[in-house]
Structure 1
Amino acid sequence: MIPHNSKSARERFNISKLAIQFSWVTLSFWIAVTVAGLLAFSSLKYALFPDVTFPVVVVNASAPLTTALDTEAKLTVPVEMRLRELPGLDDIRSSSYPGQSVVSLAFAVGTNLEKSTKEVETRLKQVSLTEGASYKVIPLNLNESAAISYAVESDDRNLTDLSKQTKEQIVPAIANLPGVLKVSLLGAPVDVTPEASIPTGGATLVRFNGKDALAFQVIKRGDANTLEVVSLVEKEVKKLQSNLKDIKLTLAATQAEYIRNATQSTIDALIEAIALSVVVIFPFLWNWQATFISALAIPVSMLGTFIVMALFGFNLETITLLALALVIGSIVDDAIVDVENIMRHIQDGESPRRAALLATNEIGLTVTAATFTAVAVFLPIGLMGGAIGQFFKPFGITVSAAMLTSLLVARTLSPVLALYWLKPTSSRPPRQTSNIGASFNRLYRDLLGWSLNHRRIVMGLAALSLIAGIALIPLIPKGFIPKLDRGEFNIVYTAPLPNVSELEKQGNELLGSLLGEEQSPLPTPYSPLPSFNPLNDSLEVAKKLEEVVRKSPAVETVFTTVGSREGEPNKGTLYIKLKDKRAIATLELQEQFRTSLPNLAGVTTSVEDIPFVDSGGQKPLQVALQGNDLKALNTAAKAIKDKLVKIPGFADVTVTGETNPQDTIFQIERLNNQRVTYISANLGKELSLGDATDKLVAIAKSVIPPGVTLDLGGDSASVNTVISSFGTTLAMSALCIIAVLIWLFRSWVDPLVIGVSLPLAIVGALLALLITKSDFGMISLIGFVFLLGISNKNAILIVDYINQLRDTGLNRTAAILKAGPVRLRPIMMTTAATILGMLPIALGLGAGSELRTPMAVAIAGGLISSTVLSLIVVPVLYTLMDDLFPRFQRRGGEGQGERGRKK
């Protein structure tokens, strides 16, 4: 409802008058923005995802202890107790083995890793550990990830010589490059000292394509750009290779190639979205000048957005590029509405200057209200906290910046250009619309008239469609992040650790026989077998897995690392790179390997996707059974696993400690100071994350005994976190929308009418997800947020114009029947531009399309339903609300021309 002082409100938001009055200042300002935007764009870097910092500190402790129970009691628990009150600590996990403890401390996003590491070291000095214990503190910024790895091979040199030359000539050259944090040498020969029966601190062995090799892994700085670092490393390696005649450096692993392909595909979709959005305008306007003025809003608004992105330090990555691609239709919306309104006044006989002033004054409040309500949705997204907030901050800020810039373009640049480029129609016959358009207008007016006379039927159908949409929710698969066909994946394995006490016994016997019968063996704690190295046993496992993997014709390279960076020698990873030209999808080959990999005694294998962020090797589905009774935990976990493996879709189901021999405990897991047993699984293509979580929880609840509790982890926990965070943020966004509309319309009735378009958008979005079999997850959720921001534009256009016409003295019905058809053209133009802008993304072409498609599908489906329904439902609801709260009463007795003429 426009207030009594509506003219002053419109004047307040009509900056177009000033822009037209000082047209050269306006043009100079936008020329400056264009130049600054080009400079800002050149400074932006490409990446796969936003820079999200996950600080982790690992404490790797060892002591001459022979059982996992002793290790837990004398190493793990004292360390945990001293560290559990650390500031910023999110959770604390630990694994206890005979003689070794690995305690992992995960801190809140944004916590200073260096400061936390020093605090850990300080507190550990105050812990009284068992005799002979030692520990190492390993800080891990998970954003300081491996950017690229190279295998180092030679036909003439052994590994020791090769290691020496690599350390002296290759590592220093790479380590000095900008953006490189460190270069890790993998596979270098390790001497195991008698003081440590299990090598710690990240000792590794490496194989490349079935042969023993060395490798160096380039770890980028947390704030460095992956593509820039990789580019510098590639150039340096090329230079080094020319000087190292008998050493071959071969690319072993990198995410850079996929990042390049994915960002390029998104940029292609963005360019196609711009082209389609522009193409759709001309058939509505039939005027090249008007089309060009509207289309010009896109590049100018984007250049303004690049300035904001550069100021915030954002990258051109999947989320921000998606934000730009999705907002294309909305960017052009404001300009279309302004230019279309100016054209309408010119076609009615006004001069270009007069038309520009009248049209911008008439539409200014409407366009401003529509944009402000959209920004009211996206800004809270940009201000979310925690890990989710860091991930979505670039999206919220980028969309908000694009929309505010486009509003400024539409209110200043577009009317000034219209003033100079749009000509009066007196010299030529007006061509307002095609015959098809005129017929469509008449059809809509007739339908609108029928709807006003059958309000109950219309509202009943609207309510039914909303109920039907909500009923679709259980039918849509729930996910987190869609699986990507990246052409690469990992096979992760865990081999059993040897029984240390048995090895020590054998070592004593061997030493006794060597020293003579009269010599007594050395005391057990000081006599481990010097040659014992579990890396060798783990290596044998890797070789057997490699043998099967390398037989596949789709596999290009296999890069094997034995030993983890946390210093666990029984763990290893095979990085599989597939050929570009292959007859099988990544997902299908993963399924094949799950059935063809050998079943090795005590060995667990897992075929896993490359993680977006290396968060410690968690599988998508993970639950923790918590309790103090190890036997009860293990029995319940085994019972759950036995049931899960029989259900299609659950893959690589593992239970921690399941490889322990009967009545022997080799491994004890703890989570937040309590014993746990983890049940983890990967998911096949026939099972969504949501369904899998529901099935697992149902089975667990039927099995777990008293004293054992269930705790979700992995992506299942992430989904809950995302939905919870978004729920709170959407509630804030809805309140912001209402506040903005009440502020602009000075009434709560019209904002309520406008708000009806929001649930109407959900119907089409859910139906589109169901038809395209897209998951309802984090990515599609962004689509729903986007819908919330843009779907009320059409309703604002209609309601505001109805009010303007009623202010001139028209009765309610006449105002509605005039406002609907007049606003039909800009509504159809903006909707068509936005939907066509979504089309390249919705089609799912190029690398990373699985990420983009659900979002575009949800938005396109929601826009169709909200547009179709709001064109009819909003005017009908307007009349119903006006019956309950008559407009002239809301205006304090104004609107006398309407008194007694509501119908």
Structure 2
Amino acid sequence: MKLVKSSVKRPVGVIMIVLAIIALGTVSVRNLNVDLLPDIDLPIAVVATSYPEAAPEEVEDLISRPVESSVSSIEGIDTVQSQSQSGSSLVMMMFNSGTDLDQAMLDVRENIDKVKGSLPESAGDPSVLRFDPDQMPVMQVSLTGDDATKLTQVADDQIVPFLERQNGVASVNVEGAKDREIQLELDQAKLQEYGVTANSISQALKNSNQSSSAGTVKKGNKDLQLRVIGEFDSLDEIRNTLVPTESDETVHVDDVADVNDTYKGSSGETMVNGDQAVVLSIMKKTDANTVSVADTIHNSMSNVQEDLPSGVSADVVIDTSDSIKMSIRSVIQNILIGGIISFLILLLFLKSFRATLVIGVSIPIAIISTFSLMYFTGETLNVLTLGGLALGLGMMVDSSIVILEHIYTYRQRGYSLKDAAIKGASELTPAVIASTTTTLVVFLPMIFVDGIAANLFAPLAITISFALIASLVVAITLVPMLSSKLLVKATENSGKRYWFSRVLDRVTNGYQSALKWVLGHRKTTVFGTLALIVGSLLLIPAIGASFIPSSDQGQLQVTVKTDTGSTKEHTEDVTEKVNTRLGDYDDVLETTYLNVGGDASNQASYMMELTSSSERSQSTEEVVQSMTEDLKSVPGADITVQSTNSASGLGDPVQISLSGPEHDVLNDLAAEVTDEISQVDGVSNPASSAEKGTPQMHIDIDSEKAAMYGLTAQQITGQLQLQFTGQTAAKYREDGSEMDVTLKYPEDERSTISDLEDVSIQSKSGASVPLKSVVTLEETQGPATLQREDQQPQLNVTSEIAGRDLGSVTNDIQDRLDSMNFPEGYDYNIGGQAEDMASSFKDLSVALVFSIFLVYAVMAVQFENFLFPFVIMFSLPTTIIGVLFGFFITGLPLSIPAFIGIIMLAGIVVNNSIVLVDYINILRGEGYGSDRYTAIIEAGASRLRPILMTTLTTILAMVPLGLALGEGAEMQQPLAITIIFGLTVSSIFTLLFIPVVYTLFDDLTAKFTRRGKKAK
């Protein structure tokens, strides 16, 4: 009451506060971080350990298992997974949601330090890392030209240092680069001729490439530091390095080796749109804004282009900010469209531009205030938080409508502008606060929901809550103040919109007739409503369920895998065939980035950017399905095509974890499961994490024979490594760059099995011993990767889905797996998005129950009665009819956003019932007490107009989101559909079914009251 009076009597103060809020909101929105989705809290730690030259079995036994055992007892750990492959171990610890990862990382490091001493001596020190999903490239820039060496030099010397100086850039990784190397190609014949070994050359290079301090000498009153300079200044110094021979003579390095200034053999090749390229992957700092970093890089690209040598061009290949900008732009567009629709609806009902302006001004003020609150609470401006604003747009004006309607009533009674504003707003302020509170309390339980659902939708709940609180403050301060100044002609009728008044009168008359009928047929109404609720529940199997809708971002990835152990050249030959097939998609492909052999010599991956959705007739998923069919027939490789969308970072849709005691049995079981689920309709690209064995040549050293020649296993291994992989002997610095000086044998002496068999091992005495004399060679297959979960062997079978909802596909997969005969001791678990979906649905169900209880509690406090809130709660079950019918019509599955919409409805739909039941009670208290029927008819007709206004503004403001207009709007669509259909149907039942329930409980109360009186 005091707040309303103060706002009306001190309009200048209110205006100044509003201007301050606008200024603060403008500054806040410019400084808000912009992203596609809210930050996903994934408390994951990783322990990475190298174990050079060790087979996967050794890595598992000597590295992975001890590390697993040491960390498994740490508090808060949910799952421990490990991957053991040749030369390295990766142990991943997933903690329960809400775990303090900083403390958990300290615990992990302490436990790793305890076990570090028991690891093999040749193993590297374990590295404990925090898994950060944000550490993905913000942008990838390609350098194209004819000379890869020149491209590498330009990247290293010019572009990488320049980009790393830009604001928000953490690092720049270079792919496809040629690293300079000084190679000493050894001549086997000359080594034997001069009696020189590779080890003696290596030692000579190290001895000749040293600088050191030798003390100081005095010169006058100064001390001069003595420094012996022994580092190589030129390639000639390397060539002229003296190497001792067995006969105590010396030879130069170039007498026994060719010194070549060249480049390391590239592990991978990169191509952009068919041209050889060097690709720069730009990583942002953890606290940096993705969009601002991308904009900074775009703005700096002109400076980069100016300084590039002729024949070299730089282009942006992948820009993750594009999809963010398009999605944000679409949501903002939907907010504007929804705001215009709400404004027109209000204008239609109020028949006054000034009155509409009074309410309409509450929308931008509420939105700007929300931006300020988001900034100070650390929320980001993303698709979901902006979607929350769009979804709350219609609800923002509800409180203002109710206040203005009541002010109108007092103006029509002859009150002055100020008195009408004060009295009308003051009377309904408590009711408006209570009504807004019922909407707000439904979000409280969501704060306590764990997992991905909480990470994604708690910001949405917070944003809507901010918007509603801001709109409530505007309704009880700014609206009364503006009403006292602008509603001069509020009581005058204008014939311009008389047609709508006639329409509204007809609707009112029709409603009264329908209300009279249902009051006369109460049993039919009740049982008819129950039948509709049960009938709608039967639609659930046809609707299905999914986790989170994926948005069409126009990006897809093609993965090509040839047989394990295939050479990079063979993989390149296969990609040529793939390129031929991809030529049919030139009309929809904007950019194609190919990397061959980057991760493994038998793998190649394509990153593709499609043209804008407005320029192509097919969606990304349709392109994926078409491309999958076209590439299926490419021989010699397994090819997977999948889209990159907003849900891609949430894991595979279906992940079946197989566990048991033996890796070999799991491999066979994984193949059976893959074949079995591939027959399920909707399963796309099923794949097993089991890889074919890596071809290996086992070299078994006979220690006794080796000892006869004075050789040890370490000497034999060292000379074999030198022969086939080379050895870094020294470092060479030139113009500020440092490069390796590497000893290698010619390519034609280290390529085939014959070359291996012809190797001669030199003993300490200088004698050459044929390798075959001291070892046994056996060709075999070794495992590529060994996986474990919770200290037990494990394999994963993953699958995409296409053409069906996740819930239905998961149920069919479950039936298939249950029908299989698993060996004793082997089991499966369905994870991925399917598991997250089930877990989120369970958590949100609990949140829904608590939300309903809180709504009832708020209404009980408001009415100071337990019965009337119970009557009002009967409007909630009727929302099921609208929600399920809406999803059945639109063909969308139930999803997490839809569930959030259902929780929101629990607080929204009761508002209309509150208005209706409250007014029925008021009329009965003013003289209709003995005539309940007349009070209900009168209350229904009187409250129809404000109920229609608030309902239509909320529903129609969400229509743009419900239609998923623009790119990136798919995530809010299920939530909008839930509100639109649920609120529409529940409003109809509120106006017809709630009065019937009211009479039934009123009769029941009267019956018990009469019994009580008779008992007395």
The TM tier, using the shorter chain, reads: 0.7 to 0.9
Deviation of the 1:256 alpha carbon: 1.2
What secondary structure, in the 3-state scheme, does the structure 2 residue paired with 1:141 have? coil
Q: 1:417 and 1:888 mapped to 2: Cα distance? A: 50
Aligned residue among 564, 581, 584 for 1:548: 581
Query: Is 2:726 the partner of 1:659?
Result: no
Q: 1:294-309, aligned counterparts within 5 Å?
A: 294-309=359-374
Question: TM-score normalized by structure 1?
Answer: 0.86
Query: Is 2:470 the partner of 1:401?
Result: no
Aligned to 1:531: none
Matched AA of 1:173? F
Q: 1:286 and 1:716 mapped to 2: Cα distance? A: 51
Query: Is 2:381 the partner of 1:264?
Result: no
Query: Is 2:296 the partner of 1:236?
Result: no
Q: 2:855 and 2:73 mapped to 1: Cα distance? A: 41
Deviation of the 1:92 alpha carbon: 2.6
Q: 1:52-131, aligned counterparts within 5 Å?
A: 52-54=40-42, 56-63=44-51, 67-107=55-95, 120=108, 123-125=111-113, 126-127=115-116, 128-131=118-121
Q: 1:49 and 1:169 mapped to 2: Cα distance? A: 34
Aligned residue among 775, 800, 808 for 1:682: 800
Aligned to 1:423: 488
Are residues 663 and 498 of structure 1, via their aligned partners in 2, closer, same or farther at CA, if it must alter by over 3 Å? closer
Aligned to 2:943: 823
Aligned to 2:20: 32
Aligned to 1:133: 123
Aligned residue among 136, 158, 161 for 1:145: 136
Whether the 8 Å CA contact 2:452–2:836 is kept in 1: the answer is no
Are residues 574 and 112 of structure 1, via their aligned partners in 2, closer, same or farther at CA, if it must alter by over 3 Å? farther
Whether the 8 Å CA contact 2:352–2:490 is kept in 1: the answer is no
Aligned to 2:505: 438
Deviation of the 1:438 alpha carbon: 1.8
Aligned to 2:29: 41
Deviations along 1:631-663, one digit per CA (max 9) or x if unpaired, are: 443333222222222334222111122534898
What secondary structure, in the 3-state scheme, does the structure 2 residue paired with 1:280 have? helix
Q: 1:113 and 1:218 mapped to 2: Cα distance? A: 26
Are residues 58 and 162 of structure 1, via their aligned partners in 2, closer, same or farther at CA, if it must alter by over 3 Å? farther
Are residues 175 and 705 of structure 1, via their aligned partners in 2, closer, same or farther at CA, if it must alter by over 3 Å? same
Aligned residue among 287, 294, 310 for 1:223: 287
Q: 2:955 and 2:111 mapped to 1: Cα distance? A: 58
Deviations along 1:460-513, one digit per CA (max 9) or x if unpaired, are: 2221222122222121121112233322111134455439xxxxxxxxxxxxxx
Aligned to 1:352: 417
What secondary structure, in the 3-state scheme, does the structure 2 residue paired with 1:559 have? strand
Q: 2:910 and 2:936 mapped to 1: Cα distance? A: 18
Deviation of the 1:393 alpha carbon: 2.2
Deviation of the 1:871 alpha carbon: 0.5
Q: 1:741-890, aligned counterparts within 5 Å?
A: 741-811=859-929, 812-886=932-1006
Aligned to 1:577: 609
Are residues 731 and 763 of structure 1, via their aligned partners in 2, closer, same or farther at CA, if it must alter by over 3 Å? same
Deviation of the 1:673 alpha carbon: 1.9
Aligned to 1:606: 640
Q: 1:123 and 1:205 mapped to 2: Cα distance? A: 40
More strand by share: 2
What secondary structure, in the 3-state scheme, does the structure 2 residue paired with 1:151 have? strand
Q: 1:50 and 1:255 mapped to 2: Cα distance? A: 15
* Residue range with higher mean Cα deviation, 452-461 or 256-265: 452-461
Q: 1:147 and 1:542 mapped to 2: Cα distance? A: 26
Aligned residue among 270, 273, 276 for 2:341: 276
Q: 1:209-608, aligned counterparts within 5 Å?
A: 209-246=273-310, 247-382=312-447, 384-423=449-488, 434-498=501-565, 542-553=575-586, 554-562=588-596, 571-580=603-612, 581-597=615-631, 603-608=637-642
Q: 1:816 and 1:732 mapped to 2: Cα distance? A: 31
Deviation of the 1:346 alpha carbon: 2.4
Whether the 8 Å CA contact 1:281–1:829 is kept in 2: the answer is yes
Matched AA of 1:230? A
Are residues 116 and 362 of structure 1, via their aligned partners in 2, closer, same or farther at CA, if it must alter by over 3 Å? closer
Deviation of the 1:297 alpha carbon: 1.4
Q: 1:883 and 1:81 mapped to 2: Cα distance? A: 68
Deviation of the 1:402 alpha carbon: 0.8
Q: 2:282 and 2:575 mapped to 1: Cα distance? A: 23
Aligned to 1:732: 850
5+ residue gaps, structure 2, are 184-197, 200-265, 695-779
Question: TM-score normalized by structure 2?
Answer: 0.77
* Residue range with higher mean Cα deviation, 647-656 or 345-354: 345-354
Whether the 8 Å CA contact 1:366–1:800 is kept in 2: the answer is no
Aligned to 1:511: none
Q: 2:379 and 2:268 mapped to 1: Cα distance? A: 36
Deviation of the 1:358 alpha carbon: 4.1
Q: 1:498 and 1:74 mapped to 2: Cα distance? A: 25
Q: 1:144 and 1:840 mapped to 2: Cα distance? A: 34
Matched AA of 1:848? G
Q: 2:826 and 2:375 mapped to 1: Cα distance? A: 51
Q: 1:776 and 1:445 mapped to 2: Cα distance? A: 36
Q: 2:65 and 2:874 mapped to 1: Cα distance? A: 57
Matched AA of 1:645? S
Deviation of the 1:687 alpha carbon: 1.8
5+ residue gaps, structure 1, are 1-10, 196-201, 500-533, 894-898
Q: 1:634-713, aligned counterparts within 5 Å?
A: 634-657=667-690, 659-660=692-693, 665-684=783-802, 686-703=803-820, 704-713=822-831
Deviations along 1:132-166, one digit per CA (max 9) or x if unpaired, are: 333663544111221000112222x333x432331
What secondary structure, in the 3-state scheme, does the structure 1 residue paired with 2:797 have? strand
Are residues 123 and 586 of structure 1, via their aligned partners in 2, closer, same or farther at CA, if it must alter by over 3 Å? same
Matched AA of 1:588? E
What secondary structure, in the 3-state scheme, does the structure 2 residue paired with 1:756 have? helix
Query: Is 2:303 the partner of 1:186?
Result: no
Q: 1:253 and 1:588 mapped to 2: Cα distance? A: 21
What secondary structure, in the 3-state scheme, does the structure 2 residue paired with 1:652 have? strand
Deviation of the 1:277 alpha carbon: 0.5
Deviation of the 1:185 alpha carbon: 1.4
Are residues 203 and 227 of structure 1, via their aligned partners in 2, closer, same or farther at CA, if it must alter by over 3 Å? farther
Matched AA of 1:438? D
What secondary structure, in the 3-state scheme, does the structure 2 residue paired with 1:791 have? helix
Q: 1:118 and 1:436 mapped to 2: Cα distance? A: 70
Whether the 8 Å CA contact 1:562–1:572 is kept in 2: the answer is yes
Deviation of the 1:23 alpha carbon: 4.4
Matched AA of 2:155? T
Are residues 96 and 355 of structure 1, via their aligned partners in 2, closer, same or farther at CA, if it must alter by over 3 Å? same
Whether the 8 Å CA contact 1:542–1:560 is kept in 2: the answer is no
Q: What is the Cα-based RMSD across aligned positions, in Å?
A: 3.2
Deviation of the 1:401 alpha carbon: 0.9
What secondary structure, in the 3-state scheme, does the structure 1 residue paired with 2:813 have? helix
Q: What percentage of residue pairs aligned between the two structures are identical?
A: 28
Whether the 8 Å CA contact 2:394–2:955 is kept in 1: the answer is yes
Deviation of the 1:865 alpha carbon: 0.3
Matched AA of 2:630? S
Q: 1:221 and 1:331 mapped to 2: Cα distance? A: 37
What secondary structure, in the 3-state scheme, does the structure 2 residue paired with 1:862 have? helix
What secondary structure, in the 3-state scheme, does the structure 2 residue paired with 1:775 have? coil
What secondary structure, in the 3-state scheme, does the structure 1 residue paired with 2:687 have? strand
Deviation of the 1:810 alpha carbon: 2.0
Whether the 8 Å CA contact 2:592–2:606 is kept in 1: the answer is yes
Whether the 8 Å CA contact 2:112–2:126 is kept in 1: the answer is no
Are residues 788 and 203 of structure 1, via their aligned partners in 2, closer, same or farther at CA, if it must alter by over 3 Å? farther
What secondary structure, in the 3-state scheme, does the structure 2 residue paired with 1:281 have? helix
